[in-house]
Amino acid sequence: MRTESVVVRYLALRAAPFIQLYALYVLGHGEDGPGGGFQGGVIFSASFVLLALAHGWPFGRQQVNEKVADILAPTGALIFAGIGVLTMLAGGAFLEYGAFAKAGAEDPEAARLAAQHIGLIGIEAGVMITVAASMAILFFEMSRPPRESKGNDA
């Protein structure tokens, strides 16, 4: 059941993409500001909560494909662990991003820092995917309208 207020419905529809954009901003600034993967994921899924509140549960559910969300949740964890294993394959410890640095770089310290940035953003992206998908799944499963049967939703 969606709201009768056209203001809330219009605003929710227009604000949702900007909330998702802000989630990506929070993800990107996790190193030198407040934020990171978890916060970015929560803000990302908040846009779906807003859509479900303003346009009703079925509309919100349509925005998040159930199967895609179920697949994305473990995929993020896989990215996290996968980067850790990749660093081990590159010769470092688990999640030691410095191992990604090119061996023959003219400035080893700068190369190591750049590799650390890339690795950090990678695992943060994995965390964000997992958190966003899990939060969306949690919200939509807990707020499922009681009269709707389980296999009936799009």
Partner 1 sequence: MDIVYVVSVVVVLVGMLAVLKRVISGPTLLDRLLGVNVIGTKTIVLLALIGFLADRPGFFLDIALAYALINFIATIAVLRHFEARFRGRASAVTEEEPS
Only one residue has tokens 């820092």, namely 113
- Greatest alpha-carbon pair distance for the chain in Å reads 66
Mark 10-29 with x for binding to partner 1 (rule: CB under 8 A) and - for no binding.
Answer: --x--x---x--x---x--x
Q: What are phi and psi of 146, to 5 degrees?
A: -65, -30
Number of residues that bind partner 1 (CB under 8 A): 18
Q: Does 65 bind partner 1 (CB under 8 A)?
A: no
Contacting residue, 27, 36, 38, 39, with partner 1 by CB under 8 A: 39
Q: Does 92 bind partner 1 (CB under 8 A)?
A: no
Residues 27 and 32: their CA atoms lie apart, in Å, by 11
One-letter amino acid of 79: I
In whole angstroms, the minimum distance from the beta carbon of 2 to partner 1 comes to 10
Instruction: Using alpha carbons, select from 28, 50, 23 the residue that is nearest to residue 39.
Output: 23
One-letter amino acid of 53: L
Q: Does 121 bind partner 1 (CB under 8 A)?
A: no
Q: What are phi and psi of 86, to 5 degrees?
A: -60, -40
Q: Does 132 bind partner 1 (CB under 8 A)?
A: no
Contacting residue, 27, 54, 72, 132, with partner 1 by CB under 8 A: 54
Binding site for partner 1 (CB under 8 A): 3, 8, 12, 15, 19, 22, 26, 29, 33-35, 39, 43, 46, 49-50, 53-54
